[in-house]
Amino acid sequence: MAPTEILARQHYENLSEPAAAAGLSIALLTSGTSIPDRHELVPRVLTGEIDLVIGTHALLSSTLRFPRLRLAVIDEQHRFGVVQRARLADTDLLPHVLVMSATPIPRSLAMTVFGDLDVSVIREKPPGRLTTETQWLIDADAAYGLLKQKLETGDRAFVVCPLVDESASVASAAAVPVFKELSRTRLRGFRLGLVHGRMTEMEKHAALTSFAAGETQVLVASSIVEVGVDVPEAGVMLVDGAERFGLSQLHQLRGRVGRSSRRGLCLLLTGADIGPKAEHRMRALVTGDDGFKIAEEDLAIRGPGDILGTRQHGLPALRWASLARDIELVEEARAAAKKLLERDPDLSAHPKAARLLAYRWGKLLELGNIG
């Protein structure tokens, strides 16, 4: 399961050939799947005729069940809600579950959220991959001037905006008017394309295919390109209205460029007065390329939300510790809790701890009348 049709389709195309070679049947199911195709596909899934189904949130449909599900893979897991992730693997067979994310999970948070999972971390960049240069600018002419220089050397570029259309309540760059303006002014003479979430799946696929083939040199987009877009020839990412994006989201967008042996360039264009938190995010991106450190910064800024519940941001219900700062304390507490539960799994020898656990977390953990 992937969060966008773009990413799901990319997985489907990449896996179709090896699946066929292994004698496995494979199918793609998204919101863009036609009704006739869906009516043909669902019964084949229900009977187990399809070995591998790749899709988006459409996999969570109440009409779709996986009778022999053995493995559930959730890509870009942070883009799904807690309940959504649980629903995919909600079968009687207790399938293996692999959750993946290109956005690093801070170690302190991973030890709590994923305390029941084995965590594998890949820190190395792909062979030959160079660090992308990141600049923060408040002068649009300067930013687009740098982008134009790169285009003249043969690079392709993304221009990402936080909005699709202009908003009466939010003053920020929007993809549709920016596309029209750039075509007439700053990037006149270059081949521009446009992609955003309000387009049909066919229109989005056509825009991305044209950009990947080099038919367009600049792709003006909403944040839809944050995941699932792999164009090695794209060397420049200009985020217009960067203060409107979160830290990890900006890091993801930066990762769309510099995917070849050439050094990428990420330009963060903001207003002059963006506030201290947004300025903190810009400086963190400019001075750091380590996604793990950036994730720690993001956690410190936004808060992790409820570790055991469904709220995914804000301050957690911890009284004396911070998941962002007190990593050693979290490690020590987790190790102590694990040892205690190995000796006393039902906490019968620790009635006070059992009662406190039931009082604080009983409903979320479905502990019933423990203690």
What is the set of domains in the chain, with CATH numbers? 5-113 (3.40.50.300), 133-289 (3.40.50.300), 339-371 (no CATH)
**For residues 152 and 296, what is the distance between their CA atoms, to the nearest angstrom?**
37
Return the number of other C-beta atoms located less than 10 Å from residue 251's C-beta.
27
Q: Is 53 helix (H, G, I), strand (E, B) or coil?
A: strand
Question: Which pLDDT does position 368 carry in this prediction?
Answer: 47
Question: Which pLDDT does position 325 carry in this prediction?
Answer: 67
pLDDT-derived band at 148 (thresholds 50, 70, 90) equals very high
Q: Give per-residue pLDDT as tens, 149-204.
A: 999 999 999 999 999 998 877 778 999 999 999 999 999 999 999 999 899 888 99
Query: Which stretches of 164-261 are DSSP H helices?
Result: 175-184, 201-212, 247-254
Question: Pairing state of beta strands 265-269 and 192-195?
Answer: unpaired
Query: Is the pLDDT confidence value at 56 over 60?
Result: yes
Q: Give per-residue pLDDT as tens, 87-107.
A: 776 666 678 889 888 767 776
DSSP string, 14-29: HHHHHHHHTT--EEEE
Lowest mean pLDDT among 41-55, 148-162, 293-307: 293-307
Return the higher-pLDDT residue of 96 and 115. 96
**For residues 195 and 218, what is the distance between their CA atoms, to the nearest angstrom?**
11
Give me the chain's average pLDDT, please: 85
Which range of 141-150, 259-268, 321-330, 331-340 scores highest in mean pLDDT? It is 141-150
pLDDT-derived band at 267 (thresholds 50, 70, 90) equals very high
**For residues 143 and 137, what is the distance between their CA atoms, to the nearest angstrom?**
7
Question: Which pLDDT does position 68 carry in this prediction?
Answer: 82
Surface-to-core class of residue 338, CB atoms within 10 Å of its CB (0-12 exposed, 13-18 middle, 19+ buried): exposed
What long-range pairs does 296-305 form, CB within 8 A, spacing at least 24?
296/106, 296/108, 296/324, 297/247, 298/246, 298/247, 298/248, 299/106, 299/108, 299/109, 299/323, 299/324, 300/324, 300/325, 301/247, 301/277, 302/246, 304/109, 304/113
Query: Is the pLDDT confidence value at 370 over 60?
Result: no
Record the tokens describing residue 284, joined without a space: 């963190």
Q: Give per-residue pLDDT as tens, 203-257.
A: 998 999 999 999 999 999 999 898 778 898 999 999 999 999 988 889 989 999 9
DSSP state of 288: -
Amino acid 127 reads: P
Q: If we measure between CA atoms, which residue out of 238, 246, 247 comes closest to residue 175?
A: 238
Record the tokens describing residue 197, joined without a space: 């979430």
Amino acid 31 reads: S
**For residues 288 and 254, what is the distance between their CA atoms, to the nearest angstrom?**
12
Q: Give per-residue pLDDT as tens, 3-14.
A: 888 889 889 999
The residues, ordered by sequence, that sit 6+ positions from 51 with a Cβ below 8 Å of its Cβ are: 19, 24, 25, 26
DSSP state of 224: G
Return the number of other C-beta atoms located less than 10 Å from residue 369's C-beta.
6
CB 299 within 8 A of CB 109: yes
Question: Which pLDDT does position 210 carry in this prediction?
Answer: 95
Question: Which pLDDT does position 169 carry in this prediction?
Answer: 74
Please give the average per-residue pLDDT across 345-363, as a whole number.
85
State pTM to two decimals.
Answer: 0.76
